[in-house]
Chains A and B, each alone.
Chain A
Amino acid sequence: MDLSTLDRFTLNNLLVIMLRIRLFEEALFRAFMTEKMPGTMHQTTGQEAIAAGISQVLQSGDVMTSTHRGHGHAIAKGVSLNQMMAEMYARTTGVSAGMGGSMHMFDLDRGFLGTTGVVGAGLPIAVGAALALKLDGKANIAVAFFGEGAANQGAVHEALNMAAVWKLPVLFVCENNHYAVSTGFERSFAIERVAERAPGYGMPGLTVDGNDVLAVYTAADQAVTRARNGEGPYFLECITYRHKGHSRFEPASYRSKDELETWLKKDPIERYKQLLASEGIFSDEELQGIGEKVRDEIQQALEYAHHSPLVEAGPALALAFRKPVGER
C-alpha cells in the first residue's frame, strides 16, 4: 500500500488507538489476575486493527453499536479510558455509572450506543439509529460491529434485510475471528466467507484482512462514502483472530498451538509498527514515545478508577425507570 496518500495524523491515530485497546485490556487482564476486579471481560487482543481502521473514517455525529467483545469499539469511538476503567471497577465515575460493567458501556454523547451481552443484539438497534439519522436528514452513519458467530442469529438476518430495504446508512462490520466461543467457523457455516451473504440482502459485501489496519481503513472509507451518499448499507467482513480465550482465563484449548502461533505472527500492531518504521514514517524513538504515552494514559485510568467511589445498592434501586418530566 502506498502510504504517501495518507496523512501522518491518521497514521498516528491508527497506531495510538490499537495501542490503547491492547494496553487497556492487558491492564484488565493483570487486574483480574492480581486484584479482585469484579465481573468478566472478553478480550479483543489481536483484533484491534478493525476498530482502529473503522474509527478513522467516522465523523462527529456518527453512531456505533458494539458487542460483548467491545472495549476496542468504545475506545475507537473516543469513550474516555478513565471512565471505561472506572466502569470495569464498578465505580460511580464509570461510563455507565458503574451499573453496566464490561458488557454494558454506553456513551450517547460520543454516539456510542452500547456494548451488549446478547450476541447479535446490536444490529437491529444500529438500524433504528440509522433510521433516526436518515429521518433527521443527516449525512451521518451507524456502524454495527458483530462477530461471525452473531451472523447466525435471526436478529442479524432481520436487521440486514431491513437496512437494505430501507437503504439506511449502516456499515455492518463482521469481525470474523474464527470462533464462536469454542465452535469453529467451518462448524457453523457452509460457506467460505460471511460476506458471501451480503448480496442476498441486496448490499455489497467485501472481505478484507482484518489484521491489516490500512486495509480495513481503506475498505471502510469506500463503504462509508456509499452510506453517506444515501446508497444504503454495506457489509464489511474482517478476517482476524483473537489471541486470548473467549473470556477472562478461558484457555482456548480447542485451538491448536500451531494455529495460534501462525496468527500471533500476524499481530496487527507489530505488523503496522514494522511498516511505519520500514517506510520511514516514524522513527524507532517516535514509536517508543507513542507507546509510552499510551502506557501513561492507561496508568492514569487505573489511578482514576482506584480513587473513585464504589457503587452502592441504593441508587441502583431507583434506576429501573427514567422519571417522566414533572413526576415526583
Chain B
Amino acid sequence: MKEPRPCRCQLFLLTYAMLLTFSSAAQDIDLRSVSSTYAIKDATIVQSPGKVINDGIVLLEDGVIKAVGKSVTIPAHAQIIEADSMYVYAGFINGLSHAGLPKPKEKTFDRGKIKDPANPPNELAGIQPEQMASNLLKPADESVSSLRKLGFTAAHSVPHGRMLPGKGTLILLHGSTADEMVLINETSMFSQLSGAPRRLYPNTVIGVMAKYRELYRQASQSKDYQIRYKSNASGMTKPEQSFVEEAFYPVLEKRIPVVFKAQSVLDIQRVLTLQSDLGFNLVLGEVKQGWDVIDKLKGSDAKVFLTLDFPKINEEKPDSVTIEEPKTKTDFELEKEHLEKRKQEMIEKHFLQASAFKEKGIIFGFSTLEVKPGDIKKNLNALLDFGMDESDVLAALTTHPAELLGVSNIMGTIDVGKMANLIISDRPYFQKESNLRYVFVNGNIHEYEAKPDKKKEKDTDKN
C-alpha cells in the first residue's frame, strides 16, 4: 500500500498526470448533467422511521426535495427513476467517522533528538486541536465511497490522532473537492484518552487526563485576557499566541461540543469525570460498553453515538458432546461451560446495548471509527435480533443523528425542503439480500448495480 518515494522524473510524470486529471475534472464540471431535477416514481417511500408512502413520488430539484407524495406533478425536464418495487429512505448520517480522512502514516521519530521526553513537540504528544478535518479532507479516499455505498450520505468526520487530533467537520459524501463536501466546517473538538508514544508525555490515561485539564484551564484563562487585549490592547502586555489554546475557545464558548471517543465502561466514566471537572458540552462517540452507565450518562446530558463494531458472536455449532450418551461432567467441563457461558453473555450485551439505550429513552446515532465498512450492514441487521426494530435502527441512522448534530432542518427525513440526500434500495434495506441501487447526495446521483444472484445465495445461506 505504501508508495515508494518518487524520484525526480517520477515526480514530473506525477505532476503531469495530475494536470491531466485536473483538466479532465474541469471538463466534467463543464458537462453538467442533463438536468438536476429527478423524479423517483412508484416507490415505497419510507419518509421517516415508521412513516411510509406506498407508490409515491419524490421530486428532487437542484439538491433539494421539492415534493413528496402520491400525486406529484413531474416536470417535463425531470430525469425519471423508475423505482417500481423499490424502497426509498432518507440518506444515512454517520455520527462519528474518519470519512475522507485516511490514516496518516505513523511518523517515525528519532528518540535521541527529543531532549526532554516530558515536553515533546505537540505533534508527537498528540496535542493538535487546531487541526481542521476540513483542511485534511481527501475527497477521493475510499472511505467516502465505501460508506456511501452503504447508504450514508453525510458524515461527521474527525481527524486521526491521539488525545486531541483536531476539529471535526460535517461532510456530504459526494464531491471532488473539500469545498464541495463540507457542510459545516467546525462541528466539534475531537478528543480521545490515548496517550503519546512510549517515553513521551502524556503517555498513560492519568497523564492524558491531567494534561487535558491543564490545557482546558489554560485556554480558559488565556481567552479572558485575549478578549480584553483584542478590545483594547493599549497598556497591555501582548499575550503569547497559542493555536492550541485558541482551538479550545469555541468549546469554552459552548459553540461546539467536545466529541470524545470512549468505548469501555471505564473510559466512558473517565470522560464524564473530565466533563464534570471542566464543564464542556459533551458528545460521546464509539460507545461500546455503555449499558451499565445509562443513568449516569443521562445525568450528564451527553449526546451519544454507539459503535457499530461488535465482538464476534459464537454461532451455535452443533455440539458433538450432546449427541453422546449423557454422562456426568467433570469439574473441568462444568467450569469451562460456565466460563464460556459468561463470556457469551458478555458478548451479547454488546449487541443488546442499543436496545438498552432505547428502553431508557436515550436517542443515539451510530459511529464507525472502528468498524470495518464491510461489517456495517451485517451488524445493523444483527441489532434487529437483539431488541431493536427496523424503525429504531433507521432512526439511529437518520432522524436521531440529524437531531444530535443539529441538522434536522435539512436532513434525516424525506420531507419537502430538505437536502436531496436519499437512498433507493431494491428491497427493504434491512433485508439481508437487499441491494442499494441509487444514492443521492445533495441531489447528485450515484448508481449501483445489483449484486449478482450468486452472492445473494451465499448471503442467504448464512441465515
| A and B found bound together | no
What is the interface of chain A, defined by CB distance below 8 A to chain B?
none
